[in-house]
Amino acid sequence: METLINKFKKAAPKAALLMAVAAGSALQGCSNTDGRNAGSTAEGVASDAASAVYVAPGKHDELYSFLSGGFNGQVSVYGLPSGRLLKIIPVFTQHGENGYGYSEESKAMLMTSHGFVPWDDLHHPKLSRTDGMTDGRWLFVNGNNTPRVARIDLTTFETVEVMELPNSAGNHCSPYPTNNNEYVIAGTRFSVPLDMKGGTNDVSLDKYEEEFRGSISFIKVDKDKGDMDLDFQILVPGFDYDLANGGKGPSEDWVFFTTYNTEKAGTLKEVGASQNDRDYLAAVNWKLAAKYAAEGKAREMPANYYHNKMDKDTHIAKSTVKKKVRYLLPEECPGMMYLLPAPKSPHGIDVDPSGEYMVVSGKLASAIPVFSFAMMQDAIKNKKFDGEKNGIPVLQYESVLKGEVKEPGLGPLHTEFDGKGNAYTSMFVSSEIVKWKLNDLSVVDRMPVYYSVGHLMIPGGDTKEPHGKYLVAMNKITKDRYLPTGPELAHSAQLIDISGEKMKMLLDFPTVAEPHYAQAIPAEKVAPNSVKFYKLDENKHPHAVKKEADVSVVRESKNRVRVKMTAIRSHMTPDNIEGIQVGDTVYFHVTNLEQDWDVPHGFAVMGANNAETLIMPGATQTLTWVPKKTGVFPFYCTDFCSALHQEMQGYIRVSPKGSDVPISFSTGKKKQNIPGVASAQ
Amino acid sequence: MKIYQKVLMIVAALSLGLLFVFPMWKIYLKAPQYPEGLELHIWVNKLGGSSESVLQNFNILNHYIGMEPIHAESFAELKFMPYIVIAFMVTGVLVGLIGRRKLVLGWSAMLMVAGAAGILDFYLWLVKFGTNLDPKAAIKVPGMTYIPPLLGNKQLLNFEALSLPALGSLGIFLAISLSLVVYYFSLKNKTVTRDISSGKVLVR
């Protein structure tokens, strides 16, 4: 009897959910007229969709997914299949929520040769790889607007490195790691008139054809630590470089780039860059390029670019300004680079898991060409060339073409693979996902998506062995899909089950800003390494205080005061500070003394012109404050840490400039023991 | 005493060494926001736990109710107890070598007394911490004391406390029971001798 009750208890939530879904669609059926629901919402939705994506309270998702935030400069982390938002990782954008880009420690992360650039357009996340498979160590992402590549450490989910790229403009074609992260490769979207001194020439815009050049950067990645270093660049013809992907297996020495504007138009590119019927897929042998660079073929030019790194012991970011860069010219490096003609203005280039097929999604083309790596090798060997462009051989289209996927849909953008011989292509214009077979290039299934899908992502779909269970479509337009929120609407992701013959729609969830590409990885490759807190003993921050007895408030110079303070449940030490004067620059170095999981403390002070700072257990963070008025100003902990969180607060007295109020500080009254442990240690 | 009995006695003495390898007692705390639990480990010579900073975390929680912070330095026992254990081990080995059963019984009895004294001392500490509360504590529940259980579990506000002997205590248990076994069998030695003299064969 009891087991029967238990069974019922277990089944009840699922049953209730199914009933709710059923009721929902029934309601939808009768309420269409009042405009509250979209017409075609239920098309293709699997009957068991609710239970397929239901992750019960307290249970974990099967996969981590990392969706770029596009114009918010961040990465959003979602659990799959639930679509639950787990975290937002600030990368190129200041984040008031935790002080990233505001705190003294993190400001340097956003430094560039253009000064402090606290925003960027983050398009493509790529997970680090081992043997062509994602390894869950790092996530590389690109900054499109002010060319940068960043690295996120997946033990802390924090941005730990940002590298600016010289000779690049619009770092869209980026970042593409090779199969063992030997290099992360980044191509420029805009070609620019390089002055060969690390900048661009002040030339007439009419000179596009003669003066403009593109670049492809080869960033070396330290095998163990992940540290990046710009090894060399290849200066390429003045096209637009759009997207790239590395080969695998037989093609693993190669990386492929789509190009457009091979017409070299400098204005009204929507027309000017759409004149040639064929643009190019550029194939670069990165191993040979590295060899040429190592063997002295590389020249050197002056440059000026920032490399910002977060120190893991001090949690302080430091910028190094690099003053030179090495470069190769393809015309001097035979065998390194070839051009494959591809239908007009291609967008995505994706290499299948075997490494044999290169799929080019030509957004304006009526068919999807599939190139064969074996045929490409053969064409190179037999010199089946169709002339050359800027000294780079152009291969004959037919000599490298395996075939075309006919009538796939309108506006093909990107393709990923399930590892079972199928490819899936996103169709921006006809707003659908199209499944086709790699062997005979026949279309076998279609799934409408809402609306105008950009990238799609299969977990591991760009690796040697795709996960192959789910597909995430990232849609640019949502219109009537969710409750309206004024003119600005959320973009959406749709989760599709691809485990069977037919695709099944499972889930639809709004996303943050504009995801372009995404990556996903089985949770067990990341979760076990997740850091719970920082060890106080290992905190090497120069202004850390590790016990309450060591806190200090010191006037270092006429206008500068340094406060070294601590936070622990549920008080700050000191919490009474006097002797500050109007116009002082006050540095609050707050050390979180906690050594337990999930006990951050926040610090905010009234009138601060920056943000709060959120301090993880064991870490030290610095907020700068310049009081402009006399009086008493409160400060407090912003992260609800404990039952007495509301009591975790203090006061600073600000006196006029030149006042004789001495610096003094305390917590608790004299001779009264400060409750808690840290004081007694 | 027979050789095997002497060996067993030495084993009994040496099993006290477990006290230096494992904690004697463990106090487990469980609360909704501590899914991973908090464990305080009491050793013969130190305090430890499920993580390096467990004492700090215990103390942070305890300070709200005005409990005095727990520090290893506050317990003189942790300094002299190891010497007592070593003394027992050395004398136990000597008793084994000498092989006189009255000494075995004496050793065993003294160890029992020492063990009981240890448990009593532990209980007195629990009472002291659980009742000696700061009158300025943030959380005061009228009539509430916070004496953790000596053995078994008890609900203390949001925490469920469970207290159990750990593997180190097994060392004491082994030492006492093995030495008593030795004593018991050595009592039989005379009987065995008699049996042999009467010509019977003893089969074990």
Residue A27 has pLDDT above 50, yes or no: no
Q: Tell me if chain B has a CB within 8 Å of the CB of A644.
A: yes
Sheet holding B25-31, edge to edge: B47-49, B34-42, B25-31, B159-165, B152-156
**Token pair of B174, please?**
């082994």
CA distances from A329 to A239, A249, A332, A337 (A): 15, 27, 6, 10
Which CATH number is B167's domain given? Answer: 1.20.140
For residue B83, being part of any structural domain is answered with: yes
Residue B145 domain-assigned?
yes
CB contact under 8 A, B59 and A677: yes
Q: What is the pLDDT of residues A342-381, one digit of tens each?
A: 988 999 999 999 999 999 998 888 899 999 999 999 999 9
The confidence score (pLDDT) of residue A547 equals 94
Structure tokens given for B48: 């430890």
**Whether pLDDT at A39 is above 80:** no
Q: Do A680 and B71 touch (CB under 8 A)?
A: yes
pLDDT at A456: 98
CB atoms < 10 A from the CB of A437, how many?
14
Question: Tokens in use for A437?
Answer: 């077979």
Q: What is the largest CA-CA distance in chain A?
A: 91
* B51/A569 touch (CB, cutoff 8 Å), yes or no: no
- What band does B187 get if pLDDT is binned at 50, 70 and 90? confident
C-alpha dihedral sign at A380, A381, A386, A389: positive
pTM, rounded to two decimals: 0.90
Does the CB of A601 have a partner CB in chain B at under 8 Å?
A: no
CB contact under 8 A, A676 and B60: yes
Establish if B202 belongs to a structural domain: no
Report the distance separating Cα A92 and Cα A595, nearest Å.
29
DSSP calls for A317-342: EEEEEEEEEEEE-GGGSTTSEEEEEE
B32: β partners: none
Closest Cβ–Cβ partner in B60, B134, B137 for A677 = B60
Residue type, A66: F
Enumerate domains of chain A plus CATH numbers: 63-529 (2.130.10.10), 544-680 (2.60.40.420)
Domain-located, residue B201: no
Please tell me the distance from the alpha carbon of residue A256 to that of residue A243, in angstroms, as a whole number.
8
Residue B3, pLDDT above cutoff 50: yes
* pLDDT at residue B192, as a whole number: 54
- Contacts B134 to A, Cβ<8 Å: 675
A570: chain B residues, CB-CB within 8 Å: 64
Res. A7 pLDDT band, cuts 50 70 90: low
Q: How far is B56 from chain A (nearest CA, A)?
A: 6
- Buried residues in A536-554 as b, exposed as e (16+ CB within 10 A): beebebebbbbbbeebebe
Length of chain A: 681
Residue B120: inside a domain:
yes
How far CA A407 is from CA of A369, A501, B22, in Å, comes to 11, 20, 72
Contact B57 A595 (CB under 8 A): yes
d(CA A453, CA A213) in angstroms, rounded, equals 31
- The packing angle between helices B101-131 and B167-197, to 10°, is 160
Nearest-CA distance A595 → chain B (Å): 6
State how far the Cα of A391 lies from the Cα of A334, in Å rounded to an integer. Answer: 9
Number of domains into which chain B is organized: 1
Paired strand residues for B110: none
Amino acid at A71: F
Spell out which residues of chain B touch residue A678, defining contact as CB-CB under 8 Å: 56
**Within-domain flag for B192:** no
Expressed as residue numbers, the domain containing B143 is 3-187
Label residue A10 by pLDDT band (50, 70, 90).
low
DSSP state of A494: E
* Strand A317-328 relative to strand A228-236, pairing: parallel
Question: How sure is the predictor about B2, in pLDDT bands with cuts at 50, 70 and 90?
Answer: confident
Residue of A535, A568, A597 with shortest CB distance to B60: A568
Please give the residue of chain A at the shortest CA–CA distance from B53: A595
Cβ(A215)–Cβ(A233) below 8 Å: yes
Looking at residue A231, its pLDDT comes to 98
Is B19 within the bounds of a domain?
Answer: yes
Share of chain A above pLDDT 70, in %: 92
B53 part of contact set with chain A, CB < 8 Å: yes
Asked if B71 reaches chain A (Cβ–Cβ under 8 Å), the answer is yes
Q: What is the pLDDT of residue A19?
A: 45
Whether residue B193 is contained in a domain is answered as no
B31 in A contact zone (CB under 8 Å): no
Instruction: For A596, name the nearest residue in chain B, comparing CA atoms only.
Output: B57
